[in-house]
Amino acid sequence: MGKGFFNVPIAFNEPVKSYAPGTPERDLVLKTYQEMYNSQIEVPMYINGQHINTGKTATMSPPHNHQHVVGTYHLAEKHHIETAIKTALEARKQWANLPWEQRAAIFLKAAELVAGPYRAKINAATMIAQSKTIHQAEIDAACEFVDFLRFNVQFMTDIYQDQPESTNEAWNRVEYRPLEGFTYAVTPFNFTAIAGNLPSCMALMGNVVVWKPSDSQIYSAKVIMDVFEEAGVPPGVINVVFGDPVMITNTILSSPDFSGLHFTGSTFVFKELWKQIGTNIHNYKTYPRIVGETGGKDFIVAHHSANPKQVATAIIRGAFEFQGQKCSAASRAYIPKGLWPEVKQQILADLKSIKMGTPEDMNNFFTAVIHEGSFDKLAGFIDRAKEDKDVEVIAGGNYNKSKGYFIEPTVLLTTNPKYVTMCEELFGPVITIYVYEDEAYEETLKLVDETSAYALTGAILATDRYAVETATKALQNAAGNFYINDKPTGAVVGQQPFGGARASGTNDKAGSAQNLLRWVSPRLIKETFVTPTDYRYPFLG
Ligand code: NAD
C-alpha cells in the first residue's frame, strides 16, 4: 500500500434468508435446483487459470438419488499436479507482491457475488452434492462462506496493524510476508464454506495454493471456482485438482517448495499427512505450517436443574441437523435420571414429526448421508447396537439405500458409558445417551472428559449457576468450543471462532485472525536513523 492507510468495509454476518413458502428466494432456489438436477455438467480442473479436461472422468450423483447422474469431473495424472505446483510458484512472483488492498478487493467481491448473484446456485449445488436441506445449505454455502470472505479481510488488516514500538532512534516495522513456496488445501465434503475458506484465506494473505476438494463436494466446489474466477483471482493463485488423494498428496508433499497444509477432515488422514510431512522434513526449504481441524465426539451434558424441553431440543438439533454430519454434531449425551423420562418423551415426540426425504421437498428436515461408505459404516454400528446387551435402540434404527443413502435419526440408550458409540466418531445421525444418577454429576463430568480422544465441541445445560461453573472447569480441555445452555453446533464466523484440540485438531480457530496468522511469516525491519560510527561504548571510558 503506497498512498494511504485504507479502511476496509466493516465486516458483518450475512443475514440468513428464511425460504418460507411464498418467498422469492424459495422460488429461485427451487428453480435453480431443478435446472441443475435435470442437466449434466462437466467439471474441469483449474490449473493456471485454464480449465483442464483430462478425459479420465468420474461421475457425480446426489446422495439422495445415487443412480441419478448430474455430471462428471476430470481426474488428474501426476503431471497435472506437477504443473499445478509449477504454475503456482510462477504466479507467486506477482501475487505475493500485489498490494494487500488489491487482494482484499478480489475476495470482498467474491463475498458479494456469493451473497447475491451466485447465492441460489451455490445453495442448489450444495443441496444436490451434499444433500443439504435449503436451511443447512443457506447457513453454510451462502452465509458462512460470505462471512469467511468478509471477516478474513478485516482480520488481515487487524494483523497488518499489529506493529512493534519504535523510538526516535529507530523505526521498527513488521511486514507479514506470505509463506515462501506454495500451500496445499485439503477440504472435507460436509461444508461448502470450509471448502471455499481453506484455499481462499491462504490466498488472501498472499500465498499461492493447490486445492484438493473432497470427491463428494465437487459440484459445489465448481461454483466456488466460478466465483473466484469472476471475482478476479489471477491464474495460478488457486489451482484446483481432483482425483486420487494419495497420488496428489504424495506429489505435493515431495516438493521442496511445499510450505503449508491447511486441512479439514478426519483425524486419521490428518495424522497420516503430518507423519508424511515429518518424513520429508529434510527436503523442504522451510518448515511447513500444519493446520488441521479434524474429528469430534461432541457431547451434551444435562444437569438435573436443566429444563428438559431445552435438553431435548439441543439433542434433536445438535445431533440430527444435516444428518449429524457436522464435526460439531452432538453424538453422546449424559442425562440425569430425574430428568430422563421427560427428555425421552420429548425426543420421541419430536422425532415422530421429523420428515426424511430429498432436499427439494422442503417439508423434509432430514435427508440422506453422504455416500455408501458412510451408510454401510453407520448401518454396521446400528446392527451391532441391536445385538449388544448393554445398549438399546430407542428411536430410529432403520436404514435403506435402495434409492438414496437414508438412515433414520437414531437414538441409542446405553448402560455402558464407554460403549463404542460413546467413544468413536460415527459421523452420522446416531446419538448415544447415558443416564446417570442425579447426584453423580461431578463423576459424570470426569467421565465425559476421559471417554473420548476428541475435544472439539460440547455443551452443558443447567439453570444452577454452580453446576455451570463446575462443568466449565471440569471440561476445560474436553472441548475447544464449549456451549452453555445451547446445542454444540452452529459456530458463526467472527462470533465463535472454531476448532478443537486433542485428536480434534491443531485448534487454529477458523473464522479468526489466529488462523490467518499461520499463513504468514513476519519479517521485522529495524531502520536506524543515525548509524553509529564508533564501536566503543561509554563504559569503556
Ligand atoms: P476425509 O478425511 O475422508 O476427507 C477429507 C479430505 O481428505 C478429502 O478431500 C479427502 O479426499 C482427503 N483424503 C482422504 N484420504 C486421503 C489421503 N490418504 N491422503 C490425502 N488426502 C486424503 O473426511 P470427510 O469425510 O470429507 O469429512 C468428515 C470428517 O471431517 C469428519 O471426521 C469431521 O469431523 C471432519 N471435519 C472436521 C471439521 C473441524 O472443523 N474440526 C470440520 C468439518 C469436518
Cell (9 digits) for 429: 445421525
127 and 196 share one domain = yes
Residue 213 Cα to ligand 1 midpoint, Å, equals 9
Residue 423 Cα to ligand 1 midpoint, Å, equals 19
Q: Which pLDDT value is given to residue 115?
A: 98
Asked, for residue 530, whether it belongs to a domain, the answer is: no
Q: Which pLDDT value is given to residue 1?
A: 56
Q: State which residues of the chain have pLDDT below 50.
A: none
Residues with catalytic annotation? 293, 327
Asked, for residue 222, whether it belongs to a domain, the answer is: yes
285 and 309 share one domain = no
DSSP symbol at 529? S
Q: Which pLDDT value is given to residue 541?
A: 79
| Torsion 237-238-244-247 (CA) sign | positive
**Angstrom distance (rounded) from CA 152 to CA 199:** 12
Asked, for residue 141, whether it belongs to a domain, the answer is: yes
- For strand 258-264 and strand 430-436, is the pairing parallel, antiparallel, or unpaired? unpaired
Coil, strand, or helix at residue 333?
Answer: strand
**Angstrom distance (rounded) from CA 14 to CA 174:** 32
DSSP E strand stretches across 61-154: 71-74
Structural contact between residues 241 and 84, judged by C-beta atoms closer than 8 angstroms: yes
257 and 324 share one domain = no
273 and 312 share one domain = no
CATH number at residue 191: 3.40.605.10
273 and 305 share one domain = no
Q: Is the minimum distance from the CB of 425 to ligand 1 under 6 angstroms?
A: yes
Asked, for residue 539, whether it belongs to a domain, the answer is: no
* Ligand 1 nearest atom to the CA of residue 500, by list position: 41
Regarding pTM above 0.85, the answer is: yes
494 CB-near residues (< 8 Å, 6+ apart): 11, 13, 147, 151, 511, 512
DSSP symbol at 306? S
408 and 352 share one domain = yes
Q: Which pLDDT value is given to residue 25?
A: 98
* Ligand 1 nearest atom to the CA of residue 213, by list position: 9
Residue 251 Cα to ligand 1 midpoint, Å, equals 19
* Ligand 1 nearest atom to the CA of residue 216, by list position: 26
314 and 431 share one domain = yes
* Ligand 1 nearest atom to the CA of residue 267, by list position: 32
**Angstrom distance (rounded) from CA 496 to CA 499:** 9
Give, to the nearest 10 degrees, the angle between helix 119-130 and helix 100-115.
70
CATH number at residue 361: 3.40.309.10
Strand partners, 510: 498
Asked, for residue 22, whether it belongs to a domain, the answer is: no
473 CB-near residues (< 8 Å, 6+ apart): none
From 190, 252, 481, give the residue whose CB has the most ligand 1 atoms within 8 Å, as the site to mutate: 190
231 and 363 share one domain = no
Asked, for residue 52, whether it belongs to a domain, the answer is: yes
Total domains present in the chain: 2
113 and 253 share one domain = yes
337 and 285 share one domain = no
288 and 376 share one domain = no
388 and 259 share one domain = no
C-alpha angle with apex 507: 506 to 513, nearest 5 degrees?
120
Residue 437's domain spans which residues? Answer: 298-484
For ligand 1, atom 23, which residue shows the shortest CA distance?
A: 265
Asked, for residue 464, whether it belongs to a domain, the answer is: yes
Give, to the nearest 10 degrees, the angle between helix 192-204 and helix 218-231.
30
Asked, for residue 10, whether it belongs to a domain, the answer is: no
Q: Is the minimum distance from the CB of 188 to ligand 1 under 6 angstroms?
A: yes
Residue 265 Cα to ligand 1 midpoint, Å, equals 2
